[in-house]
A and B are shown apart, each in its own frame.
Chain A
């Protein structure tokens, strides 16, 4: 089975820097305050794995998890 990735934003840590939305717009959404959450259930479509890791490694609040399933 191929490895699937899932992203998750910890809403208690997110402060709305919006780096994830800029770097991986397919994987994250912003609410009316500009705070981020994962799009859908966070499943990373094939081909977007790099963007998931990029978003994680640019979050100043260390709010993003990339889960390998």
Chain B
């Protein structure tokens, strides 16, 4: 067990190109001009913060790194102030490299195919409507805290077979791991321990009484040799599914509603042409991609002509890649009927998000059900929109007024 370091305040950034910091309040609030500045300077930039970290700024550089598992390891996937010890079976397959990655990934894929998601869709529509029932009469709502947040948390609880009523517990762990844990290792360790204890109890209960859910699915899964998975592997994958499936989609739904609240033209078009919603979801995923991953450089190489040295982390910003004007015409605009859209919101290469089909279904259903019942809404000028910091970006407070403006 490593010593937990106390939380450290970061000095404000004055030179983004040579000293970037993705936890800086300016980045949290409005990262897009920063990414443009970095991209104009170099396809790969570096900061001494976080014990040394690169960031690819172009779509091409991001693709090169995502496809290069020889020089870039996934053993550490979050850029933090510290480098916590590498745990075996931390969260396979997201923390796995070849050759162990593929079998671990293949285990998780069948429950998340588009066909599997279709079966979940009726439950998702019901969840969305239950949530809307809870606030529609109030005339105002925090759409992040009372809608976007609970859609993915209830969906993944439903799939895992754990109580949807434990949602707030899961949300707190995720906040400790992905936000507070960047600067305070003790929060990270505490959350991981609590999650492991929680899932261990659910695993124990299923040893006597197997259930028809993802926990039992993983407990019954066999590796290539036909042996059951180690307990630590099952636990690691369960931690991954819970962490990865929640604030990511919460952020994507929140950002989408934020965009629609301030863009009545797009909102009216989607109400008139609901068939366009899947295309719009892809564009909202591109423009407001929530997830930034990381890699650790394990062998010196060059990326887009820039040398990168072992021992540094890499902030693998799919969101910045998706704003690269060389790849996307009008990259800084939301074009809700964009036809060609090779966005990388779910990553590129072997670590493509295992839950991408789930996330897409949740986003489509969340927007469809919201627009059916709440066609008119706008940002509440009396409130403030706040954004999460660090690895996953999305609105955490999203105050709306519902109904037509007087």
A residues in contact (CB < 8 Å) with B:
15-18, 21-22, 30, 32-34, 54, 57-62
Interface residues of B in 305-344 (CB under 8 A from A): 339-344
Contact among B109, B344, B346, B348 for A34, CB-based, below 8 A: B109
Cβ-based interface call for B167 (8 A): no
Contact B356 A17 (CB under 8 A): yes
Contact among A18, A54, A62 for B114, CB-based, below 8 A: A18
Bound CA span A57–B348, Å: 15
B interface bracket (residues with beta carbon within 8 Å of A): 20 to 34
Contact B340 A34 (CB under 8 A): no
What are some 18 contacts across the A-B interface (CB < 8 A)? A15-B349, A16-B109, A17-B356, A18-B114, A18-B357, A21-B114, A30-B114, A30-B115, A33-B113, A54-B339, A58-B282, A58-B341, A58-B342, A60-B344, A60-B346, A60-B348, A61-B349, A62-B342
**What residues on B are CB-neighbors of A22 within 8 Å?**
114, 278
Cβ-based interface call for B110 (8 A): yes
Contact B113 A32 (CB under 8 A): yes
Closest CB in chain A relative to B343 CB, distance in Å: 7
**What residues on A are CB-neighbors of B346 within 8 Å?**
17, 60
Check A60/B342 contact, CB under 8 A, given A15-B350, A18-B356, A34-B357: yes
Closest CB in chain A relative to B349 CB, distance in Å: 6
> Which of A21, A34, A54 has the most chain B CB atoms closer than 10 A to its own CB?
A34
Bound CA span A21–B348, Å: 18
The contact string, 1 if C-beta is below 8 Å from chain A, for chain B 354-365, is 001100000000
